[in-house]
Structure 1
Amino acid sequence: MVKRTHEMGKAGLSIPAVLKENKLLTPFRFFQAKRDWPQIIGKQIAKYSYIKDVDKNCVIIGVLNPVWMNQLFMYSQEIQKKLNDYIGEDFVQSVRFVRSGKKPAPVVYETLEGEEESDYPRGRIRDVVLSDDYVQMVRQETCHLPERIRGKMAALRFAQEKRRLSMEAEGFRHCPRCGRWLAKGETICLLCRLEDRQHKKKLVHDLLIQMPWLSLDQFVHEIGAVRSDRLYVELYNEVRRDCIYKLIERIHYDSDTPEDDLFLALFITRKTPVELPDDYVRNLANRYRKKE
């Protein structure tokens, strides 16, 4: 039954309480997450992905190309955490990525102006004039093609060159590593930065698997970094957390080995193997076993 207070107030302040009472607050927050996907994950990634659907507690994310799908798969746990932080509870238990050719049409509540196109030339690409030499070169390179596709291939080449000239005129530059167009203010594209991060994460993982007892100070010394390097500090905590979660999951479902139990104790306590009695390791692992 709805509680009546007989007090006047703004309707918007009572909506969350009504939704929560009727068990609709979480679905409403998930609906808002679909709308606010660019704010949750970042505008750059949101250009190539969107929340497609939810299946119980699994969020299905549509990705526009396989390159981004591979990159986002590496950050599924981080995406899951960001969604749960936004929703306000541990609603999302897993994330699944599916290939999607294009984004769905924007809904009317999203914006009145449409998607922001700040990373594209402001001028009209069709107004760019190509040089006679370039046109002649394209004509020569496509003259051997069958007549039915010759004109289409030439038109595609002309459109690509016009876009390139238009973007360079606006100050856009290529990534020095992969050649992709850079967003304004970038020196290396997002994909290359993600690739660098994944490479460093592997180095961190390999080191901690060999010496899981390392403290943060010992870790930065071993890897040759400094404590002020925020990326290595972030990766140190991220890799340790991931390893602990995976080991706890194995123990919970009784698929662990004695080595798994020892590694969990090493990661949690940051003590060396000789400092951990066998009884302590077993008791620690038993805390996370599934209760019958």
Structure 2
Amino acid sequence: MKQLREIIPNTIKNLGIAKKYNTEWAVLNWPKIVGDDIAAHASPTSVQRGVMIIAVNNSVWCHHLSMMKDEIINKVNDFIGEKLVNDIRFQAGYFKKYQNYDEDQENYETINQKLKMIKLDDTELSQANNLANVVSDDNLQRKILRIAKKHLAFKKLKKINNWHKCANCDSLCPSDVLYCTVCSIDNREKKICDIRKMLSEAPWLTYAELNKYIDCLPHEFINAKTSLMMLVAAEINNGKNDNLNLLTLVMLSTGAKPEEVNEKLIKRTLDKFGRKNYVSTPRL
């Protein structure tokens, strides 16, 4: 008889949920990975296409953890045993929301009731049985069969509710949206990256000016601009205080055009972002 540690990974792989299982396992064991101090202020909510979304209780901790991003990514991947997390996105102010899972209990029970009403056809039942029959232990076989049936029923429920294939991938998504959740996140991240790139080249642009080139919403512009400002400020505080970084930070923060930047404006901006003593104001 095969041992459980050999059977379960193979079964999970056959179900096509190995990556999801591994990332969910990391989310469940978050305090073990990062320690109780960080876990008290930040909690992962999901992992979407290699991007871990972490809810943080305030902007101070959000900035602090962003400086530790590479270290956290390495710890998570070391715990999982493979490189499944490539990036982290922090969301300040959402921590409390994800600490109370009872809020989703009603929706969870409603979905379970709907799944019980789904009837699998002979082909689907055969597929589920084939997955379960890889083990000889009756108890484990029943558990695997239940998981497989639920997985297939959930896919069928989506089709019954007129879910369609995502415009970017084969995942199913509701009829009122064009992209699945993962692709929607990818698209938003790409747009944010495009906005950041344009702002890094022309940091004085207002929302109205940038929106002529990139179709975006005000909050997308603000998020991209804020993240770019924090990145540039961090580089300055880490010693990369070249004139380009300093001028970029000033224009991002104040909206001043290049010809409007002066030493007084630079000093006020640096003080606002908590410059270190060795940072000097450049000569213009």
Q: Could you tell me the TM-score, scaled by structure 2's length? A: 0.54
Give the conservation status (yes or no) of the 8 Å contact 2:30–2:39: no
Give the conservation status (yes or no) of the 8 Å contact 2:253–2:269: no
Aligned pair partner of 2:209 in 218, 231, 242: 218
Give the conservation status (yes or no) of the 8 Å contact 1:52–1:62: yes
- Structural mapping, 1:192-207, within 5 Å: 192-207=183-198
* Partner residue in 1 for 2:121: 130
Q: CA deviation at 1:197?
A: 0.8
Q: CA deviation at 1:266?
A: 1.9
- Label 1:114 to 1:264 Cα distance change in 2 as closer, same or farther (>3 A): closer
Letter in 1 for 2:217: Y
How many residues are paired up? Answer: 211
- Label 1:257 to 1:84 Cα distance change in 2 as closer, same or farther (>3 A): same
Would you say 1:179 and 2:170 are equivalent positions?
yes
Q: CA deviation at 1:245?
A: 2.0
* Partner residue in 1 for 2:51: 70
* Partner residue in 2 for 1:289: 275
Output one character per residue of 1:229-284: Cα deviation in whole Å (capped at 9) or x when no partner: xx43212222222222222233334332121111112222323323324x346534
* Partner residue in 2 for 1:241: 226
Gaps of 5+ in 2: 1-23, 66-71, 81-99, 279-284
Give the conservation status (yes or no) of the 8 Å contact 1:181–1:189: yes
SS at match of 1:61: strand
- Label 1:259 to 1:241 Cα distance change in 2 as closer, same or farther (>3 A): same
Higher helix share: 2
Q: CA deviation at 1:115?
A: 6.5
Letter in 2 for 1:211: A
Letter in 1 for 2:254: T
Letter in 2 for 1:204: I
Report which of the two structures shows the higher radius of gyration computed on alpha carbons. Answer: 1
Give the conservation status (yes or no) of the 8 Å contact 2:115–2:153: no
Gaps of 5+ in 1: 1-45, 102-108, 226-230
Structure 2: distance between partners of 1:252 and 1:176: 43
Letter in 1 for 2:179: I
Q: CA deviation at 1:157?
A: 6.9
SS at match of 2:173: coil
